[in-house]
């Protein structure tokens, strides 16, 4: 039963929401299958195939060399961790501040968090030289009584990310239980079985709602410091070294802000796509783009400030190695990338001072993609420029990514898309019960043909 789309916001009944969301799960058009096949195919071809090649021949398939032992793999890892940030974090903050505009978008934002983290964790395996021994970085009791090195920021990293993945998974799952139940009541066959299992016997009693709300708020409070700590710890991988231009105390806030920045931009992109492809025009509106635009603007200003601080600290240190690294960053081999980053992440976002810009969908989409290109560049530069100019001039060098690395980078986006495409067919990608909370109680109208019982 297709309802004609109107441009008015939330002139919907409770049932319409169920219809729209359940339709997005159950009704699968050929376009979806084409998209899934393309994304899956690209993932296999560009991600898993080059990776297997690299596993077989060794990590020399990538472009890393002697001073530049870290490359795009690590940059991509930080990028994906960063992209994961806004989802759950933003959702938690907005939940606690009772921002009702969050409710239509948070499910897909949280899914973004989860899948970015999955891609990031995969990148760790792509990055290390012997991924088949990666479990050694996890503290587990063993007969050799060998433990990982608890002083290592890389170990903190493993723990922080594992905790964050666990926390975000529980958070998105718990928030979806009432919606699983709603879908369960409107589907049949294997879907019904699946949603029966997923909804954990949800009946919608007062007690259940009370406990869900309590646990949800509890987790939201828990996840906010977690999200901040994750990226601080990722930044310590760099800041705890004594490499000039990495050894800076500003790195933890720098990374956290950068992460939220790129994550918010990522949400804008994903929301635009969802709105167009899933027919969610009524749920994701100009209001959301306006608010996210304001948030992006503030974040871009903070990010620009921290970048200034970074340059100033290097200059103020007065040491020759910091000067060298600073000059190399601004005018060296990778300088064009630096200025591209400044253009995309510091200059272009100034457009969002205009309300008209913030409420236009396509310009916001373009800007959000530009910001994420800039932020990827930032991560690449942190790795590449710093390692190229360290203490001993004899060991200076440049690092250029190899085709295998570029292919895996492209493939990681396809992997993310594939996971997301599977997600939209399993999870109700708009939180039905919370959208309903924002609506006025529907008026009784002359009986329409019944389309299933409400949850």
Partner 1 sequence: MSLFSRFMDGWRKYRKPGYYDEFDYHWTMTIDLDKCTGCEACVTACQAENNIPVVGEDEMAKGREMQWIRIERYWEGEYPNAKLSFIPMMCQHCDAAPCETVCPVGATYHNQDGLNAQIYNRCIGTRACAVYCPYEVRYFNYYDHEWDSPLEQQLNPDVTVRGKGVMEKCTFCIQRIRQAKDVAKDDDRRRVQDGEMQPACVQTCPTKALVFGDRKDHESQVYKSMNDPRNYRVLDELNTDSSVFYLKKVDA
Rule CB under 8 A: is residue 153 a binding residue for partner 1? yes
Q: Does 387 bind partner 1 (CB under 8 A)?
A: yes
Between 215 and 244, how does the x/- string for binding to partner 1 read (CB under 8 A)? ----------------------x--xxxx-
Which residue from 87, 91, 90 is spatially nearest to 113, judged by alpha carbons?
87
CA distance linking residue 109 with residue 105, whole number of Å:
6
Selection from 290, 186, 164 nearest residue 231 by Cα: 164
130 is an interface residue for partner 1 by CB under 8 A: yes
Near partner 1 by CB under 8 A, which window of 112-120, 153-161, 209-217, 296-304?
Answer: 153-161
Nearer to partner 1, 82 or 244 (CB): 244
Q: Please report, as residue ranges, which positions from 47 to 66 form the binding site for partner 1 (by CB under 8 A).
A: 57-60, 63-66
Compute the distance between CA of residue 414 and CA of residue 37 in angstroms, rounded to an integer.
11
Contact 443, 169 (CB under 8 A): no
| Maximum pairwise Cα distance, the chain | 84
152 binds partner 1 (CB under 8 A): yes
Using the rule CB under 8 A, is 155 a contact of partner 1?
Answer: yes
Q: Is 134 in the site for partner 1 (CB under 8 A)?
A: yes
Q: Compute the Cα dihedral for 30, 31, 36, 37 and give only its sign.
A: positive
Q: Are 363 and 354 in contact (CB under 8 A)?
A: no
Q: Does 129 bind partner 1 (CB under 8 A)?
A: yes
**Options 111-119, 148-156, 286-294, 303-311: segment touching partner 1 (CB under 8 A):** 148-156
Closer to partner 1 by Cβ: residue 392 or 450 = 392
Pick the closer one to partner 1 by CB: 55 or 335. 55
Which CB atom, from 56 or from 190, has the smaller least distance to partner 1?
56
Nearest residue (CB) to partner 1, 68 versus 175: 68
Cα distance between residue 81 and residue 119, in whole Å? 9
Residue 133 in contact with partner 1, rule: CB under 8 A: yes
For residues 73 and 127, the answer to whether their CB atoms sit within 8 Å is yes
How far separated are the first and last CA of the chain, in Å rounded? 19
Q: How far lies 369's CA from each of 54, 77, 152, 280, 339, in Å?
A: 29, 18, 34, 21, 17
Which of 393, 441, 443, 450: binder of partner 1 (CB under 8 A)? Answer: 393
Structure tokens, 208: 């259940």
Of 69 and 200, the one with the shorter C-beta distance to partner 1 is: 69
CA 177 – CA 59 distance, rounded (Å):
43
Sketch the per residue contact string, 158 through 177, with partner 1: x for CB under 8 A, - otherwise.
x-------------------
Binding-site ranges for partner 1 (CB under 8 A): 57-60, 63-70, 127-131, 133-134, 136-137, 146-149, 151-155, 157-158, 237, 240-243, 387, 390-395, 397
């Amino acid at each position: 039963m297709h309802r004609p789309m109107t441009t008015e916001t939330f002139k919907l009944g409770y049932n319409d929401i169920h219809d729209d969301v359940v339709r997005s799960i159950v009704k699968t058009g050929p376009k979806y299958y084409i998209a899934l096949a393309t994304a899956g195919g690209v993932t296999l071809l560009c991600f898993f195939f080059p990776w297997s090649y690299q596993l077989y021949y060794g990590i020399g398939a990538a472009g890393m060399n002697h001073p530049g032992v870290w490359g795009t793999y690590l940059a991509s890892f930080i990028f994906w961790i960063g992209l994961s940030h806004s989802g759950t974090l933003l959702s938690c903050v907005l939940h606690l501040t009772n921002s009702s505009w969050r409710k239509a978008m948070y499910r897909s934002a949280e899914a973004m968090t989860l899948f970015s983290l999955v891609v990031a964790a995969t990148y760790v395996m792509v990055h290390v030289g012997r991924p088949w021994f990666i479990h050694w970085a996890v503290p587990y009791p063993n007969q050799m009584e060998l433990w990982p090195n608890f002083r290592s920021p890389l170990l903190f990293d493993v723990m922080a990310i594992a905790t964050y993945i666990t926390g975000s998974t529980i958070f998105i799952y718990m928030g979806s239980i009432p919606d699983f139940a709603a879908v369960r009541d409107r589907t049949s066959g294997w879907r019904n079985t699946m949603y029966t299992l997923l909804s954990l016997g949800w009946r919608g009693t007062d007690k259940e709602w009370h406990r869900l709300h309590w646990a949800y708020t509890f987790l939201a409070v828990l996840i906010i410091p977690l999200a901040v700590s994750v990226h601080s710890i990722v930044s310590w991988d760099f800041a705890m070294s004594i490499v000039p231009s990495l050894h800076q105390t500003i790195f933890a806030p720098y990374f956290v802000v950068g992460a939220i920045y790129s994550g918010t931009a990522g949400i804008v992109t994903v929301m635009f796509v969802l709105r167009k492809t899933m027919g969610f025009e009524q749920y994701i509106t100009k209001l959301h783009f306006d608010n996210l635009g304001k948030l992006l603007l503030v974040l871009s200003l903070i990010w620009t400030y921290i970048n200034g601080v970074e340059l100033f600290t290097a200059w103020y240190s007065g040491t020759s190695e910091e000067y060298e690294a600073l000059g190399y960053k601004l005018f060296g081999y990778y300088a064009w990338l630096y200025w591209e980053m400044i253009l995309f992440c510091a200059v272009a976002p100034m457009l969002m001072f205009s309300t008209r810009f913030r409420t236009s969908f396509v310009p916001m989409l373009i800007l959000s993609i530009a910001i994420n290109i800039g932020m990827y560049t930032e991560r690449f530069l942190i790795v590449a420029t710093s390692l190229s100019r360290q203490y001993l001039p004899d060991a200076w060098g440049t690092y250029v990514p190899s085709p295998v690395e570029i292919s895996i980078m492209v493939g990681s986006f396809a992997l993310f898309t594939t996971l997301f495409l599977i997600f939209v067919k399993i999870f109700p990608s708009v939180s039905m019960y919370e959208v309903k909370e924002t609506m006025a109680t529907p008026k009784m109208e002359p009986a329409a043909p019944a389309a299933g019982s409400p949850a």
